[in-house]
């Protein structure tokens, strides 16, 4: 079979499991810094082991007589974990974890069922002690899975079970190299085991189906990987030659695969005895490679389609912004020709409203996110008003205070209109009979509610002013937007000098982050 394939190292990594040891490990007085560094090496390799074992893997250290602490945790990406959240730092006793304490205090391997808290469900535990040459136990490694998965594993191929045991040996002796560069193994990934003679000794059902997509309909067992006639063998060769893990992206026909190759070493002494010997002695021999295959094709296609759609949407926003600017330009021409000051003012107000909405489309045309920072929007509106409305000779300063606040497109557009209207209202009414001053836009997010206030130091409110009966179109617009669109409220407060216009609305109803 002639195939066209290319071999490249992927430029991305999806590392999702906990990789940092809990700081409680430094409270374990029996551990030296060298011990902790060794345990950190093992901790970094637990993620891929958890994925392939389809089990949660926990590392405990003795904190005090009768008490142990969980210092490292890896949850599988290949199935639902036993522990849905991090339990790092959890302290346990013999009553809580008898198998763990037996490993830590007696240096003995043990296994059995464990009830999951107050629930009726049970998990199966297999616990190994990690010991120094002098017999000092450094930690206990607990491999924990549900009973259904445990029974399923017992029925799997002996070749796969041996390969998984070899991987456990390597991880728990610190002999695995390069695992920190591997992306997680997930549920729909295929597995193959290849021996030193490059012959396939195990192939999972998922891996078989993946190869069928390439035209291989026969049984792959006992086949040489060289006979598959795919240019993907060098990954296995490198793992065999260098004794370390490798990952690469391959393009085969119209498929995109991400493959991992993990060398499999074996100890004649077995895992239990291996973990009782010194770290410097590793009488292990290379016996093969475990290959994990992930079909990335559909994900990449969807990503490409999404990129095309995003590009089209951004282009639409760009054109809408340009069209709105064109409309604003036409209105400016009309305003210059208007003989009535009232008409010119009305046209200018319309221009500012159009430009405040155009600001939103401009942001959407230049960013990938579906949320907009209304602080950035407010700053852009302030700049537009400063350049197009404020008379420099009057000496009025426009200022912005407050944190970044992110909102989806629709409420961000409403906020842009609110800021625009309140600024124009403050400039029109606060400084009509006053030279100089400062108008400040303030933003606040207390977690539950968002507040936008526009404060001026102008002439203040008339004594007979009533917001409910105002004939100001700008204030009526703000009232409608605040109550109808933002589900909030709008208030005007007189100050010692000037006015504070305040719009407050609930954050949760806007979908902000």
pLDDT of residue 59: 95
- Cα angle 32, 36, 41; round to 5: 150
- Is 262 within a domain? yes
306, containing H or E segment:
helix 297-337
Statement to judge: residues 174 and 317 lie in one domain: no
Token couple for 407: 């909102």
The pLDDT value given to residue 175: 87
Q: pTM to 2 decimals?
A: 0.61
| Residue percentage of the chain with pLDDT more than 90 | 28
- Asked if 318 and 439 sit in the same domain, the reply is no
The CATH number that applies at residue 86 is 3.30.450.280
Residue with the bigger pLDDT between 463 and 199: it is 199
User: Distance between CA atoms of 38 and 504, rounded to whole angstroms?
Assistant: 55
Give which of 315, 513, 312, 334 is closest to 408, Cα–Cα.
513
- The answer to whether residue 375 is domain-embedded is no
Residue-wise pLDDT tens digits, 201-240? 999 999 888 888 887 877 888 888 877 765 557 888 888 8
How many Å is the Cα radius of gyration of the chain? 33
> What pLDDT score was predicted for residue 387?
79
**Are 143 and 33 contained in the same domain?**
yes
* Residue with the larger pLDDT of the pair 282 and 266: 266
User: Does the pLDDT value for residue 505 go beyond 70?
Assistant: yes
Q: What is the pLDDT of residue 214?
A: 80
Determine what percent of the chain is predicted with pLDDT higher than 70. 89
* Domain end position, chosen among 295, 310, 325: 295
- Mean pLDDT over all residues of the chain? 83
Residue 61 lies in a domain: yes
Same domain, 397 and 291: no
- Whether residues 206 and 322 share a domain: the answer is no
Q: Per residue in 439-494, pLDDT tens?
A: 999 999 988 899 999 999 888 887 777 787 777 788 888 888 899 889 999 998 88
In a domain, 376, yes or no: no
| 182 found inside a domain | yes
- 81-112 tens-digit pLDDT: 998 888 999 999 999 899 999 999 998 899 99
Q: Please tell me whether residues 397 and 503 are part of one structural domain.
A: yes
Residues 462 and 352 in one domain: no
Q: Both 206 and 259 in a single domain?
A: yes
> What token pair was written down for 66?
């009768």
Residue 452, domain extent: 382-513
**Mean pLDDT within 358-368:** 74
Q: What is the pLDDT of residues 277-290, one digit of tens each?
A: 444 444 578 889 99
Q: Does 197 score more than 50 pLDDT?
A: yes
What is the CB neighbour count within 10 angstroms for residue 327? 15
The answer to whether position 83 is within a domain reads yes
**Is residue 268 pLDDT above 60, yes or no?**
no
Would you say residue 155 lies in a domain?
Answer: yes
What is the arithmetic mean of pLDDT over 31-47? 91
Is residue 250 within 8 Å of residue 6, measured between CB atoms? Answer: yes
- Alpha-carbon separation of residue 24 from 36, 61, 71, 72, 75 (angstroms): 11, 9, 6, 10, 19
What is the number of domains present in the chain? 3
pLDDT at 458: 84
Q: Which of 368, 393, 418 is the last residue of a domain?
A: 368
Tokens representing 13 are 């990594």
> What pLDDT, in 10s, does the model give residues 315-341?
787 788 788 788 888 887 888 888 888
> What is residue 164's predicted lDDT score, i.e. its pLDDT?
94
pLDDT of residue 125: 93
Asked whether residue 3 carries a pLDDT value surpassing 50, the answer given is: no
Residue 271 has pLDDT above 50, yes or no: no
User: Would you state the pLDDT for residue 404?
Assistant: 93
Q: What is the CATH number of the domain that holds 493?
A: 3.30.565.10
Confidence bin at 7 (pLDDT 50/70/90): very low
Domain assignment present for 218: yes
The rounded distance, in Å, linking the Cα atoms of 511 and 411 is 9
The answer to whether residues 363 and 475 belong to one domain is no
pLDDT 10s digits, 401-418 = 999 999 888 888 888 888
Q: Are residues 314 and 283 in the same domain?
A: no
Instruction: Give the residue from 295, 329, 359 where a domain finishes.
Output: 295
Q: Are residues 34 and 130 in the same domain?
A: yes
More confident site: 280 or 359: 359
Q: Are residues 110 and 72 in the same domain?
A: yes
């Amino acid at each position: 079979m002639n195939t066209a394939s290319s071999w490249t190292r992927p430029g991305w990594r999806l590392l999702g499991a906990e990789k940092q040891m809990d700081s409680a490990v430094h409270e374990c007085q029996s551990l030296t810094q060298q011990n902790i560094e060794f345990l950190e090496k093992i901790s970094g390799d637990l993620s891929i082991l958890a994925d392939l074992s389809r089990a949660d893997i926990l590392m405990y250290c003795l904190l005090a007589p009768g008490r142990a602490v969980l210092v490292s945790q890896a949850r599988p990406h290949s199935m639902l974990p036993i522990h849905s959240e991090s339990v790092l730092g959890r302290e346990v006793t013999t009553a809580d974890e008898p198998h763990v304490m037996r490993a830590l205090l007696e240096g003995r391997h043990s296994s059995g069922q464990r009830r999951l808290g107050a629930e009726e469900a049970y998990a199966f535990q297999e616990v190994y002690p990690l010991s120094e040459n002098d017999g000092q136990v450094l930690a206990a490694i607990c491999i924990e899975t549900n009973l259904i998965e445990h029974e399923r594993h017992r029925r799997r191929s002996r070749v796969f079970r041996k390969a998984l045991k070899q991987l456990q040996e390597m991880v728990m002796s610190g002999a695995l190299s390069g695992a920190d560069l591997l992306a997680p193994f997930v549920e729909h990934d295929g597995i193959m085991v290849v021996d030193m003679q490059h012959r396939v000794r195990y192939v999972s059902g998922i891996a078989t189906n993946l190869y069928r997509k390439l035209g291989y309909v026969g049984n792959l067992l006992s086949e040489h990987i060289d006979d598959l006639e795919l240019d993907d063998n060098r990954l296995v060769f490198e793992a065999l030659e260098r004794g370390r893990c490798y990952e690469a992206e391959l393009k085969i026909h119209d498929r995109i695969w991400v493959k991992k190759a993990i060398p499999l070493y074996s100890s004649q002494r077995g895992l239990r005895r291996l973990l009782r010997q010194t770290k410097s002695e590793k009488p292990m021999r290379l016996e093969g490679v475990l290959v994990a295959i992930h079909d990335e094709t559909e994900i990449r296609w969807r990503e490409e389609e999404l990129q095309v759609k995003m590009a089209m949407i951004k282009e639409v926003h760009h054109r809408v912004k340009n069209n709105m600017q064109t409309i604003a330009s036409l209105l400016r021409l009309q305003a210059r020709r208007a003989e009535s000051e009232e008409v010119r003012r009305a046209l200018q107000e319309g221009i500012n409203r159009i430009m405040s909405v155009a600001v939103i489309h401009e942001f959407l045309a230049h960013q990938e996110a579906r949320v907009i920072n209304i602080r950035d929007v407010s700053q852009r509106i302030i700049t537009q008003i400063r350049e197009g409305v404020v008379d420099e000779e009057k000496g009025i300063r426009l200022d912005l205070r407050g944190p970044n606040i992110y909102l989806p497109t629709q409420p961000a557009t409403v906020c842009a209109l609110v800021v625009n209207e309140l600024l124009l209202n403050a400039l029109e009414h606060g400084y009509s009979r006053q030279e100089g001053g400062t108008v400040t836009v303030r933003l606040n997010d207390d977690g539950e509610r968002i507040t936008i206030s526009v404060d001026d130091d102008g002439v203040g409110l008339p004594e007979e002013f009533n917001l409910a009966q105002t004939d100001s179109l700008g204030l009526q617009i703000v009232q409608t937007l605040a109550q109808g669109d933002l589900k909030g409220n709008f208030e005007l407060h007189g100050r010692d000098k000037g006015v504070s216009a305040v719009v407050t609305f609930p954050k949760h109803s806007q979908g902000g982050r």
